[in-house]
C-alpha cells in the first residue's frame, strides 16, 4: 500500500531511457461520471487514441489513490502500465473507486465481497467493475469490445475483485502485488504480529476524505527525526499512537489496531475464497522482495489455480520490491545486483505481449504456468507448475553448537537460549531509516549475528549448489519465561569471505562474508494454536510453533553457507511484544518485561525449516 501515489493511482512515472512520448498529441482525454446500479456515480478518466482509423481495447485501473490530474485539459506525464502501452495503442481508463476522491458513495477498507446480490443496492467492488465495463463498451468511442484490468497493490485488489462474476467483455486481467488477506501476511499483520512502521507511515497520510487533515490539505507527516527506531521507541506502547498522533480521528488506522486477532472484521475482507470460476486470462505479478504484498500475490495465484483450473493463469515473480517491475530497470535492490534489467524484460517480453494477445489478438508470448526469477544465480526459469514438480521436500535442522544441517538430530542436543528485552528490541535493518526500508528484504544480517539476543545457526560451506523453490515452513520447539513472545525466523545466504566487491562500489559495501536475507517472518506466540483465540504460554514449558513463510526461488551457490537466525523482536518493522499475555494495542509500559527464550533442537523436540529443494 505504500508505493508512490503516482503509480497506485494508475499513473506511472516516466521511464528515463528514451524520448518522452507526447501523450497529449496522441490521446484525447474524457471525464465521465459512470452510473452504478444503486444510483451512485464513479468518476472515470478515459484516454482515447486520436487515430480513429481502427478500434482499440480498453485497459482499466481502479484506484483509491486518485486519478488526478482532474480536468480534460490536464494530462499526466504518462499512463499506467507505461509508455510501451501508450505507444502500442489502448484506450486507458482510470477510475476513482466508490467513496474516494471524485466518486460518490462510501469507501470501505478491502470492501467485503457479497456472495449473492438480491437487488440494486447490493453492491461491492465486483459489481462496480461490472457496471463500469458495461457502460464503457457502450459509450466510449472506437473500442473493440474487449477490456483488460491491471493494478498494483490496492489497485491489484480491485483487479482481483473484477475477476469475480466478471463481465463477458473482460478477457484479461493482471493483479499485481494484490492485497488478498490484510491480516494473513499482507500489509497489516504477519502471523499475528502487527507491521508497525509500514502501517503508521501509510495511515498518517491516508485519511477518510472528510477528515480535516486529509493529505491534499496538509504536508507529509513530520516525524521530527530521521531515525525510525528512535521515533517508535519514544512513542511507547501502541496505544500512545492515538493520543500523540492520530487523535482517534483516522478510523482506518484505528480499525487496523483494534483487531489484533483474526476476527470477523478480517475474515469478511479476505477476497481469496471468492476467486472462483474465473473466466478471463490472468497474469499474477509480484516481487520476491516485496515487503508489502508478497503473500497476497502468491495466495491469489494459488486460489485461482485451485478453483479455476481451466483459466489461463500465469504467475510471474521477479527480484523486485513493491511495484518495482513497473517503473525501474529492476537490476538491483540495496547491495544486491541481479545482473540484468529484469523490469524492462518483464514489461517488454511478458506484460505487453500478454495484453496484446488477449485484447488485440496479436501474437502469443507462450507463457508457462510460472515464470520465476531465480535469485542467487540471477536467471529466469520457466515452470509448468509451482512449486516445481522436480522439487523434493527436505528439512534444514537447527543443531547444537550453532550448526545447521539437512540431517536430523539423533540425540538430545538440548536447547539454546537468549534474553529478549522488549525495551531494547533487535533492529530489523542495519541502517538508519525512518519507515520500512524496501532494501531490508535482501539486507545484510551481520549486525544481527553479533547480538546476544539473536540465535544464529550456520551450515558448512556448500559443496554444490542448493536451490530452494517454494514455501519455507519453520517448525520451532520453544519455551519462554514469559507468557507471550514473538519468534522471528530468518533464512540467510552467507557469502564466502573472499567474495569480490562490486565494481564500481559507491556504497563501499564489503561483500566478503555478506549475510543476505532471503526470507524472514515473525510469529506471535500467543497464536500458535489459533489466530482467533490466543493462548498464553506456560512459563518454562516447551510448545511447538508451525507456520509458513512466503515462497522463495533462490540458489545458495557452491561455497556459500546457509544460515538461520531466530530472535524475538524485529523493530520497528514489527510492533513490540510485551512478553506478557495481554491485549497489545492497549498494553501499558509496565506490561513490557524481559523474558528468557529457549529454542530446542533435540531428537524429541527438533526445530527445522521445511523447504522444497531442486538438486
- pLDDT, position 217: 54
**Residue 348, C-beta contacts closer than 8 angstroms, at least 6 positions apart:** 84
Last residue of a domain, one of 333, 350, 383: 383
Helix (H) or strand (E) holding 399: strand 392-399
Same domain, 374 and 412: no
Same domain, 364 and 398: no
User: Where in the sequence is the domain holding 587, given as residue range(s)?
Assistant: 392-614
Q: How far from the centroid of its chain's Cα atoms is residue 455's Cα?
A: 27
Instruction: Assess if residue 207 is contained within a domain.
Output: no
Residue 248 CA to residue 253 CA, distance in Å, equals: 9
CA atoms lying within 13 Å on the CB side of residue 435: 16
CB atoms within 10 A of CB 538: 11
Read off the pLDDT of residues 240-267 as tens digits, 9 standing for 90 and up: 999 999 998 999 999 999 999 999 999 9
Binned at pLDDT 50, 70 and 90, residue 310 comes out as: confident
Last residue of a domain, one of 383, 414, 430: 383
- What percent of the chain has a predicted confidence (pLDDT) above 90? 88
Binned at pLDDT 50, 70 and 90, residue 211 comes out as: low
CA atoms lying within 13 Å on the CB side of residue 427: 24
Binned at pLDDT 50, 70 and 90, residue 175 comes out as: very high
Instruction: Assess if residue 233 is contained within a domain.
Output: no
Radius of gyration (C-alpha) of the chain in whole angstroms: 24
3-state secondary structure at position 200: helix
Residue 318 CA to residue 311 CA, distance in Å, equals: 22
Residue 208 CA to residue 257 CA, distance in Å, equals: 16
The CATH number of the domain holding residue 563 is: 2.60.120.260
Last residue of a domain, one of 383, 403, 437: 383
The alpha-helical segments, DSSP class H, found in 554-609 are none
Of 144, 151, 154, the closest CA to residue 100 belongs to 154
> Higher model confidence: residue 1 or residue 142?
142
Same domain, 319 and 430: no
Pairing of strands 543-546, 466-480: antiparallel
Instruction: Provide the domain count of the chain.
Output: 2
Instruction: Assess if residue 96 is contained within a domain.
Output: yes
Of 50, 47, 48, 43, the closest CA to residue 76 belongs to 47
Beta strands (DSSP E) in 155-280 are: 170-176, 189-190, 193-194
Cβ 546 vs Cβ 521: under 8 Å: no
> Higher model confidence: residue 221 or residue 517?
517
Same domain, 376 and 300: yes
Read off the pLDDT of residues 78-114 as tens digits, 9 standing for 90 and up: 999 999 999 999 999 999 999 999 999 999 999 999 9
Read off the pLDDT of residues 272-304 as tens digits, 9 standing for 90 and up: 999 999 999 999 999 999 999 999 999 999 999
CB atoms within 10 A of CB 20: 11
Specify which residues 523 forms β-bridges with: 487
Residue 50 CA to residue 164 CA, distance in Å, equals: 33
Amino acid at each position: 500500500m505504500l508505493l508512490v501515489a503516482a503509480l497506485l493511482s494508475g499513473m506511472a512515472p516516466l521511464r528515463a531511457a528514451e524520448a518522452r512520448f507526447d501523450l497529449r498529441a496522441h490521446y484525447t482525454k474524457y471525464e465521465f461520471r459512470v452510473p452504478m446500479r444503486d444510483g451512485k456515480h464513479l468518476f472515470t478518466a478515459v484516454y482515447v487514441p486520436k487515430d480513429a482509423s481502427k478500434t482499440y481495447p480498453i485497459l482499466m485501473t481502479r484506484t483509491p489513490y486518485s486519478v488526478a490530474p482532474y480536468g480534460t485539459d490536464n494530462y499526466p506525464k504518462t499512463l499506467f502500465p507505461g509508455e510501451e502501452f501508450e505507444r502500442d495503442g489502448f484506450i486507458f481508463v482510470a477510475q476513482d473507486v466508490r467513496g474516494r476522491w471524485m466518486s460518490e458513495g462510501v469507501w470501505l477498507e478491502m470492501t467485503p465481497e457479497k456472495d449473492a446480490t438480491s437487488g440494486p443496492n447490493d453492491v461491492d467492488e465486483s459489481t462496480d467493475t461490472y457496471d463500469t465495463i458495461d457502460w464503457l463498451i457502450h459509450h466510449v468511442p472506437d473500442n473493440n469490445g474487449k477490456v483488460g484490468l491491471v493494478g498494483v497493490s490496492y489497485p491489484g485488489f480491485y483487479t482481483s475483485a473484477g475477476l469475480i462474476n466478471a463481465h463477458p467483455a473482460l478477457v484479461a486481467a493482471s493483479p499485481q502485488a494484490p492485497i488478498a488477506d490484510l491480516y494473513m501476511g499482507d500489509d497489516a499483520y504477519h502471523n499475528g504480529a502487527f507491521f508497525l512502521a509500514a502501517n503508521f507511515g501509510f495511515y498518517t497520510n491516508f485519511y477518510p476524505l472528510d477528515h480535516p487533515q486529509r493529505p491534499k490539505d496538509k504536508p507529509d507527516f513530520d516525524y521530527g527525526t530521521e531515525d525510525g527506531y528512535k521515533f517508535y521507541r519514544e512513542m511507547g506502547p501502541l496505544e500512545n499512537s492515538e493520543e500523540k498522533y492520530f487523535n482517534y480521528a483516522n478510523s482506518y488506522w484505528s480499525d487496523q489496531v483494534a483487531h489484533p486477532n483474526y476476527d470477523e472484521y478480517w475474515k469478511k475482507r479476505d477476497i481469496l475464497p471468492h476467486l472462483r470460476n474465473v473466466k478471463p486470462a490472468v497474469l499474477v505479478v509480484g516481487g520476491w522482495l516485496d515487503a508489502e504484498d508478497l503473500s497476497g500475490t502468491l495466495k491469489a495465484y494459488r486460489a485461482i489455480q485451485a478453483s479455476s483450473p481451466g483459466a489461463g493463469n500465469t504467475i510471474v515473480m521477479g527480484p523486485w520490491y513493491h511495484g518495482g517491475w513497473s517503473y525501474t530497470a529492476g537490476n538491483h535492490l540495496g547491495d544486491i545486483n541481479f545482473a540484468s534489467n529484469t523490469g524492462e524484460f518483464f514489461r517488454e517480453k511478458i506484460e505487453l505481449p500478454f495484453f496484446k494477445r488477449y485484447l488485440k489478438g496479436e501474437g502469443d508470448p507462450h507463457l508457462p504456468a510460472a515464470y520465476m526469477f531465480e535469485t542467487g544465480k540471477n536467471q529466469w526459469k520457466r515452470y509448468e507448475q509451482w512449486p516445481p514438480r522436480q522439487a523434493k521436500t527436505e528439512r534444514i535442522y537447527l543443531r547444537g553448537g550453532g550448526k545447521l544441517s539437512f540431517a536430523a538430530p539423533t540425540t538430545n542436543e538440548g536447547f539454546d537460549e537468549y534474553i529478549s528485552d522488549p525495551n531494547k528490541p533487535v533492529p530489523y535493518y542495519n541502517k538508519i531509516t525512518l519507515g520500512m526500508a524496501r532494501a531490508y528484504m535482501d539486507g545484510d544480517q551481520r549486525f544481527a549475528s553479533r547480538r546476544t539476543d539473536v540465535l544464529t545457526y550456520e551450515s558448512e560451506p556448500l559443496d554444490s549448489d542448493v536451490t530452494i523453490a517454494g514455501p519455507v515452513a519453520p517448525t520451532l520447539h520453544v519455551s519462554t519465561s514469559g507468557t507471550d513472545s514473538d519468534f522471528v525466523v530468518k533464512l540467510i545466504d552467507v557469502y564466502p569471505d573472499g567474495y569480490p566487491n562490486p565494481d564500481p562500489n559507491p556504497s563501499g559495501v564489503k561483500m566478503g562474508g555478506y549475510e543476505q536475507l532471503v526470507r524472514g517472518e515473525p510469529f506471535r506466540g500467543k497464536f500458535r494454536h489459533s489466530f482467533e483465540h490466543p493462548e498464553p504460554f506456560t512459563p518454562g514449558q516447551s510448545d511447538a510453533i508451525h507456520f509458513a513463510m512466503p515462497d522463495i526461488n533462490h540458489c545458495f551457490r557452491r561455497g556459500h553457507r546457509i544460515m538461520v537466525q531466530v530472535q524475538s523482536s524485529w523493530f520497528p518493522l514489527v510492533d513490540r511484544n510485551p512478553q506478557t499475555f495481554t491485549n497489545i494495542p492497549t498494553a501499558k509500559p509496565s506490561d513490557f518485561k524481559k523474558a528468557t527464550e529457549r529454542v530446542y533442537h533435540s531428537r524429541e523436540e527438533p526445530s527445522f525449516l521445511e523447504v522444497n529443494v531442486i538438486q
